[in-house]
Amino acid sequence: MIQTRGLTKDFVVSSTETVHAVRGIDLDIAPGELVAVLGPNGAGKSTTMRMLTTLIRPTAGTATVAGVDVVADPGTVRRHIGYVGQGNGAGHQQRAADELTMQGRVYGLDRAAAQRRTAELLDALDLTALAKRKVSDLSGGQRRRLDVALGLVHAPRLLFLDEPTTGLDPHNRANLWEHISRLRAEHDMTIVLTTHYLDEADTMAERVVVVDHGQVIADDTADGLKRTLAGDRVVLTVAVGGTASRVASIVEALPGARDVSVVGDRVEARVADAGAAVPELVLAASGAGAPLLEALAVRPTLDDVFLALTGRSLRDSAENTGTTTTIGTEAAA
């Protein structure tokens, strides 16, 4: 469905400065996949998305979408894709139904077909009761559902979602994803998603592509990335009278244990299988006269993966740029 080779985008800022936003990305996405592209602000996610949707031309490299070259035949590419950008795409003074019908007409549907498609999408995205309401009067969650409807009006084979839930609260995020997941299953769509929300990438995507400094630095399932790049952790709290250093020595003797650290009465380490390691460590610590108050098996997150890849936290990167990787800010719809 999508193939890129050496996809590159440079932005000339001045005669002496060029920003290398995307640096030779190779990417293959099969029909029907839901792929999340994950990375901090400025990583090149949205720039890559804009090249694949023909909004900007690559500086170098090639990209085909639905078998069509994005530079040679952008018009045909657009007929195959839907795009939901970071901002609200609907006109604020139009009624929701009118906005959808007009979008259908832009894509070549006759008026009757556009109105039928409008009714279908309003129903599918739980917007029928809001059909006559002005877009400006819709809540944030309702506007984002309308944006998704606008992206689907011509029944595309491939849907691009560029940070679709940014600014929504957890309830509205879950609601939007419920609708998107159902529509994807019903129509066997391919979806490419960029997001700051680690839980979305973890639970919704079949593959996670990690981008940093304009390059793909990892590409696998979420579980595969966590297993190979981050690993499980054990967190052991030593009981009163115990010795953390003695517990640390026990952990270090465990096959495959690494990154053992001691902070106060807590000992942490990376292990291959925390679930299997914890009971073994509890018994060993007790036998060595250093009983544990608490022993936790902690599964890795995608933020742990990013930290392992880059040496910095994706969550911290987002917070430093005024975004969030946890929850949004808008009131519920």
- Residue 119 and residue 99 share a domain: yes
Q: Within this chain, do residues 30 and 119 fall inside the same structural domain, yes or no? A: yes
Tell me the residue range of the domain where 36 lies. Answer: 2-226
Domain co-membership, 91 together with 210: yes
Mean pLDDT of 208-232: 89
Give the rounded distance of the alpha carbon of 176 from its chain centre: 14
Where do we find the tokens 């996670």? 208
Give the confidence band of 170 by pLDDT, cuts at 50, 70, 90: confident
Q: Which range is least confidently modeled, 93-97, 211-215, 226-230?
A: 226-230
Asked if residue 53 belongs to a domain, the reply is yes
User: CA 266 to CA 63: how far, in whole Å?
Assistant: 50
Which CATH number covers residue 177?
3.40.50.300
End-to-end CA distance of the chain: 35
Q: Which one, of 23, 22, 166, lies nearest residue 84 by Cα? A: 166
169 lies in the same domain as 76: yes
Q: Is 155 found in the same domain as 21?
A: yes
Cβ neighbours for 254, distance < 8 A, ≥ 6 positions apart: 269, 271, 277, 280, 281
Number of domains comprising the chain: 2
Give the closest residue to 161 by CA, choosing from 49, 38, 65.
49
Question: Does 305 reside within a domain?
Answer: no
Last residue of a domain, one of 207, 226, 245: 226
| Same domain assignment for residues 219 and 264 | no
Q: Is residue 149 part of a domain?
A: yes
Question: Nearest to residue 193, comparing CAs of 172, 228, 222?
Answer: 222
φ, ψ dihedrals at 215, nearest 5°: -130, 150
What is the reported pLDDT for 324?
A: 38
Please determine, for residue 325, whether its predicted confidence score (pLDDT) is greater than 50.
no
- How far is the C-alpha of 270 from the C-alpha of 298, rounded, in Å? 9
Which among 168, 198, 226 is the end of a domain?
Answer: 226
This prediction's pTM: 0.79
- CATH at 291: 3.30.70.100
Does residue 206 belong to any structural domain of this protein?
yes
Q: In this predicted model, what pLDDT tens digit does every residue of 111-145 receive, in sequence order? A: 999 999 999 999 988 899 999 999 989 988 888 88
- For residue 330, the model assigns a pLDDT of 30
Confidence at residue 322, expressed as pLDDT on a 0 to 100 scale: 46
pLDDT at res. 58: 97
Query: In which residue are the tokens 């009006």 written?
Result: 153
Boundary (domain end) residue, out of 196, 226, 256: 226
For residues 133 and 221, state if they share a domain: yes
Q: At 87, is the pLDDT very low, low, confident or very high (cuts 50, 70, 90)?
A: low
Same-domain pairing of 120 and 256: no
263: left (phi over 0), alpha (psi -120 to 50) or beta: beta
Question: What pLDDT shows up at residue 331?
Answer: 30
Q: Where are the alpha helices (DSSP H) in the chain?
A: 45-52, 74-80, 96-106, 111-124, 140-152, 170-187, 198-204, 222-225, 244-252, 274-287, 302-310, 314-320
pLDDT at residue 320, as a whole number: 54
State whether 25 and 94 are in the same domain: yes
**Can you tell me the distance from the alpha carbon of 123 to that of 97, in angstroms, rounded to the nearest whole number?**
11
Say if residue 236 is in the same domain as residue 216. no
SS (H, E, C) 88-123: CCCCCCCEHHHHHHHHHHHCCCCHHHHHHHHHHHHH
Mean model confidence pLDDT for the chain: 87
Question: Based on the number of CB atoms within 10 Å of its own CB, is 288 exposed (0-12), middle (13-18) or buried (19 or more)?
Answer: middle
